[in-house]
Every structure is written in structure tokens, then in C-alpha cells.
Amino acid sequence: MPSDLPSSDMSTTPAALGNIDLQACQRLFDEAMTGADDGEIFFESRETESLVFDDGRLKGASYGADQGFGLRIVSDETIGFANAAELSLEAVRRAADAAVQAKQGKALSLSLTPDNPPRSNRRHYGAHDPISEMDFAAKIALLEAINAYARDKHSGVVQVSASIASDQRHISILRAGGEIYHDYRPLVRLSIGVSVEKNGRRETASTGGGGRIGLSELTDPQNWQAQVDEALRQALVNLEAIPAPAGEMDIVLGNGWPGVLLHEAVGHGLEGDFNRKGTSAFSGKMGQSVAAKGVTVVDDGTIADARGSLNIDDEGTPSHATTLIEDGILVGYMHDRLSARKMGAAPTGNGRRQSYAHQPLPRMTNTFMTGGTDTRADMIASTKRGLYAVNFGGGQVDITNGKFVFQCTEAYLIEDGRVTTPVKGASLIGDGPAVMRQIEMIGNDFAFDPGVGTCGKAGQSLPVGIGQPSLKIRGITVGGTQ
């Protein structure tokens, strides 16, 4: 459960940031900010640990620690940014001298900076230490137990891989005028892969789970055994799969992780930077119908313990629940402070960065479509010829037009209202705005993904949450292998 620790505190500085004089940094930064529109110093101290078990043995173990800061000055749309892998006043001075070049050449600069983010003592995850709460030997024993359990479950299992990744970050954000915001962010992930073989054919499936939770929650036997069972089930299904047919079909999407299609094909197009630049398929459509009635899409960084949740974003703005599409109507975008200022909107808590060495961008947190009233059974029964897509792998999307290609890792034919044969090699091809209008039925079985999502944009990777109910979508092109 979330603790009641404050997400921002003017009176303390995390020990992880060492002895750096934040008051002196503030004076340097305030001077550099004179005449600028926005900016911050983002301090970060991070520890990571990863253990990888494969082929019956521990194949890799790593631990890393990093710290540094990024200093940004924004003048209109010109950005001066400098970063350093050290926490010292002299490094901040050098960074400020470099970043201030963003103001050069401007005859006049009006202060258009939004008010400093409101303070909040709400926390959406605990302050546990995911690296040290379990000792190294116990983690290895867990990975060995996963390996043994999977091999004992089925004689066809020929390979098992499992990994544990833990991450903890202390961040402090210093803004002009003496505003300082602090946050501590834990993150864990368990990944499991199972390969099975029959008559010379081999198939592999993977599952996992995670979030801003304690490692002990993730490694409870009921949890990881269910993950192994699911990976084994998917792999065995794919052993029996036939080549997927190609053509236009009605699609029934499963709930939870299949929301990755929504995330990629629609979510990125609703981020503020693409829309202020007019490069999104959703640009200029505020208040217009962009999806079928009943479709509501939300980005919510306040969900307790979720992988994409934040107490504050990487500019110091408290996390929000932001409705993007409501009953088919476009009602909002996800904003960092720059896109909000340029579009005359309020920041939504979506300014995120991979690390101190990266600039913040409008990014998703936990993005999902809300549930409806239809049942998955009715969706399938109403489909004469189609595809039931249960799980997805990778995909690609073009933000400018929403066109996407997604690979199905588990899918079945629907014939005369019944789920029949599993198929392999199916991909869904279409464009996000069109697909949103082609949604015919919205399930009553909303679910989030198990906490494994990672989102890439502009070379930066971030943890995210994904969710949706089951959906029936008419007339999507299926790329097949026959």
C-alpha cells in the first residue's frame, strides 16, 4: 500500500545526493534562469541489480550505481541542456554556463512559466528497498526453484530462463525561486521464459510481472508458479499452431496486455509534443469524435504500486489521472511543462526522462481503455470469421498517421462463432485512428498487464502500465504466413 511519506520536502535532502550544497546550486540556477521561460536541475542517484538464470545455471549477475544531474534552461522553444555524472557545485556551475546559451539571440523574453507545481504528500508506492530486502543467495535459490518447477511440470520442457531486475532511484528537482521536490522510486520485474519441444519443433513463450512493489510480493510462490504455468501453456499452444491465414478479418482482442496495441497506435499520438508540432494523427482534433462511442482512454500515474506510476513527474508536477478520449471524443493530451505552455494548457504530470542524462518529454504513465458491458463470449459468438488475439509481441507505429504492425504471440481462428485452431505468425496491420472507430464491442473484463511494459521514444526507455478490456474490432488486415 502507498505510504504517507511526502513526495516533496523543502527541509531535507536525500542522503543519496551526498554533500552537494543545494542552496548554492539554487543561487547559480536562479541567476542562469534570468529571462528564461522554464527549467530545472534534475538530480538523481540510482542503484540497479540484475540476475539471469538460463540453461540450469546462473548466467549473469550485475550491480550498478550511478549518480548525476541534468540542468535545463528553456527559452521559448530553444532548450539548453547539460548533464554530468557527478554531484558537485562546480559541475553545476559549468552546466549552467553551457545551458544559458539557450537564451542567446533573444531580444526579449517574457516569463511565461506556469506556476511551480502544487505540492502533494500523496505517495502511490512504498519506500521499500527492492535490492536488499532479499539476500543474494535467496534470489539464486528462487531462480533455481523456478527452473525446477517448470521442468517438472512437463516432459517437453527443454529450456527455462528466468531473471530478476531491481531498481531504486532517489531524485531531487530544483526549480527557480527555491522550489525543491524529492521522490524515491523502487521498481522490480520478474521475467520467465519456457521452451518446449515436440517432434523436432520447438516453441518458446514468456511471461513476467512487476511494478513498484516489494520483491517479496513478486516472488511469492503462488505468483511465480502462476507465471511459469502461463508461459508453459502458451508454448504448448504454439506447438499445435498452424500457419496464420492472411486477409481482412474481425478481431477479438483479449484483455490486459493486448492494450499494448492501444498504447502504441493511439497513446503516442496523444502526447503533447507531437500535437503542438502538428505531427500527430490527432493534431487539431480536440473536441472532435476520434473513436467509437463508448471508448474512453485514460492516462493515470496515480495507480497504487503500478509500473508506470509516479508521485511526481521528472519536472516536479504531481501525477494526474488525465482523460484523453471520453465516449469517443478527444478531450485531452498528455503534457510536460513545455507542451502545456505552448498549447495554453496545464501540465498533466507526464514530463518524464530516462535518467539525469536525458531531457524530459511528454510520456505515458499507465495508459488504458476503460471497460464496457459486453462479454467476451458474446464477442466471439457474434464473429463468423475472425481472429482471437490473446497476446502480443513487438510492433511498430508511425505517429504521423497512426499506421501500425503488431505481431501476435498467441492467437486463434474464430469460425462460425467458436474459437478453434491456434495460429502462428499472425500480425495485425492498420492505423490507430481508424481502428478506434472500428471498435464494435467493449468488454466488462478490464485488466491491467502484469507489470512488464517498457516504452521507447526518442531513444529513451521508461516503465509503463497498459490495460484494456476485451474488444471486438471489425475489419482489420491480418498478415499471415499462408
| Same-domain pairing of 179 and 265 | no
pLDDT above 90: residue 19: no
pLDDT above 70: residue 252: yes
What would the mean pLDDT of 420-429 be, rounded to a whole number?
95
pLDDT above 50: residue 109: no
Res 13: pLDDT? 60
pLDDT above 80: residue 294: yes
| Same-domain pairing of 250 and 230 | no
What would the mean pLDDT of 426-446 be, rounded to a whole number?
95
35-59 pLDDT, tens digit each? 888 999 999 999 999 999 998 999 9
| Same-domain pairing of 279 and 234 | no
Last residue of a domain, one of 239, 266, 293: 239
Q: Which domain holds residue 136?
A: 15-239
Specify the range with the lowest mean pLDDT, choosing from 51-55, 75-79, 113-117, 238-242. 113-117
pLDDT above 80: residue 199: yes
| Same-domain pairing of 233 and 250 | no
Q: Please, what is the average pLDDT of the chain?
A: 91
Does residue 3 lie within any of the structural domains? no
Does residue 209 lie within any of the structural domains? yes
| Same-domain pairing of 329 and 408 | yes
What would the mean pLDDT of 430-447 be, rounded to a whole number?
95
Q: Is residue 409 very low, low, confident or very high in pLDDT (cuts 50, 70, 90)? A: very high
| CATH code assigned at 35 | 3.30.2290.10
| Same-domain pairing of 232 and 357 | no
Residue of 89 and 480 predicted with greater confidence: 89
Res 9: pLDDT? 47
| Same-domain pairing of 251 and 191 | no
pLDDT above 50: residue 153: yes
Share of the chain above pLDDT 70, in %: 93
| Same-domain pairing of 353 and 273 | yes
| Same-domain pairing of 392 and 448 | yes
| Same-domain pairing of 181 and 313 | no
Last residue of a domain, one of 191, 216, 239: 239
Does residue 8 lie within any of the structural domains? no
Res 98: pLDDT? 87
Q: How many domains does the chain have?
A: 2
221-245 pLDDT, tens digit each? 999 999 999 999 999 999 999 999 9
| Same-domain pairing of 383 and 252 | yes
Does residue 10 lie within any of the structural domains? no
Its pTM surpasses 0.75: yes
Instruction: State the burial class of residue 444 (Cβ atoms within 10 Å of its Cβ: 0-12, 13-18, 19+).
Output: middle
Res 120: pLDDT? 67
Does residue 446 lie within any of the structural domains? yes
Does residue 207 lie within any of the structural domains? yes
Q: Is residue 2 very low, low, confident or very high in pLDDT (cuts 50, 70, 90)? A: very low
Does residue 9 lie within any of the structural domains? no
Does residue 305 lie within any of the structural domains? yes
Residue with cell 511519506: 5
341-393 pLDDT, tens digit each? 999 999 999 999 999 999 999 999 999 999 999 999 999 999 999 999 999 98
